[in-house]
Amino acid sequence: MIEPEPNPDAAKGDWQDYVAPLVALALALTFLALSYQLGETSRGMPLLFIYSNLAFVLLDILVRTDCVLGRVLKPLVSPGGKPMRIFGAGHKVGRECGAIAWILSFSAAILLLGMLIAIPMFASLYMLLWARFRPTKALLGAAAISAGIWLLFEGVLRVELYRGMLFP
């Protein structure tokens, strides 16, 4: 029997390569548990796809390893799948977390304060703190964006923008 060639992309025990499939595995198991709480007819289709998903997640984990089966399967099912890195390899994890935090904060601000407050607040703070614009440029930019949104949606389209949970 011919021994398959070593997988050059194999993570060789690097935990970073396994984070995403392990998170997917946890999610799939959660949905599996939830499916069994559904009625017998309702859970048929979801179970079919959850078990398929589990099989693919396990296969994804397998092809990342350097075991014989992983090396045989990788060129067949994931030839273009490169190992993943959370840190290093030119990734700015701090900036990525920061950018995601801005998005989530903006959404939370919309929900709580409404769009008429959240949009100018987010635009000005983003340009001041993240983009490091001069205060006049940031404030002018934020005012232009907010006025444009208000004019388009409330003025032209007659859609009342969300006023927020705190100001119903």
Partner 1 sequence: MYETVVLSLQHFNSIQNLAFLLMGTLIGLVFGTVPGLGGATTLALVMPLTYGMDTTSAMILAGGLMGSVAMGGSITAVLINTPGSAPSAATCLDGYPMTQQGRAGVAIGALASSTSLGALIGVFSLLAVLPVARKLVMAFGPPEFFLLAVLGMTAISISAGGKLVRGMMVGTGGVVLSFIGYDAVNGGQRFTFGSEYLSEGIPLVPAMLGLFAVSEMIDLAVRGGAVAKLGSKTEFAGIWEGVCASFKHWPVVLRSSLIGTIEGSIPGVGGTAASFLAYSVTVQADNHPETFGTGRVEGVIAPEAAINAKEAACLIPTLTFGIPAGIEMAVFLGMLILHGIEPGPMLLLNHSDTIYALVIALTLSCLIGAIVGMVCIKPLALITRIDVHILVPLILAVSAAGTYSIHQQPYDVLVTAAFGVFGYLLRRFEYPRLPLVLALVLGPVAERSFQQTMMITDGSWRIFFDHTVSEVLMGVIALAIVLPLWRGVQHRRLATKGGAA
- Interacting residue ranges for partner 1, rule: CB under 8 A: 20-21, 24, 27-28, 31, 34, 38-39, 41-42, 45-46, 49-50, 52-53, 56-57, 59-60, 63, 75, 77-82, 84, 91-92, 95-96, 98-100, 102-104, 106-107, 110-111, 115, 119, 122-123, 126-127, 130-131, 133, 141-142, 145-146, 148-149, 152-153, 157-162
Cα separation of 99 and 69, whole Å? 39
Closest contact distance (angstroms) between CB of 28 and partner 1 is 7
Tell me whether residue 12 or residue 92 sits nearer to partner 1 (CB atom): 92
Where do runs of H (alpha helix) occur along 114-134? Answer: 115-125
Cα separation of 90 and 84, whole Å? 12
Cα separation of 80 and 126, whole Å? 37
Closest contact distance (angstroms) between CB of 100 and partner 1 is 5
CB 109 within 8 A of CB 122: yes
CB 130 within 8 A of CB 97: no
Tell me whether residue 67 or residue 84 sits nearer to partner 1 (CB atom): 84
Neighbours of 7 (CB within 10 A): 20
Closest contact distance (angstroms) between CB of 20 and partner 1 is 4
Closest contact distance (angstroms) between CB of 136 and partner 1 is 14
Tell me whether residue 34 or residue 68 sits nearer to partner 1 (CB atom): 34
Q: Residues 90, 94, 95, 100: is their CA dihedral positive or negative?
A: positive
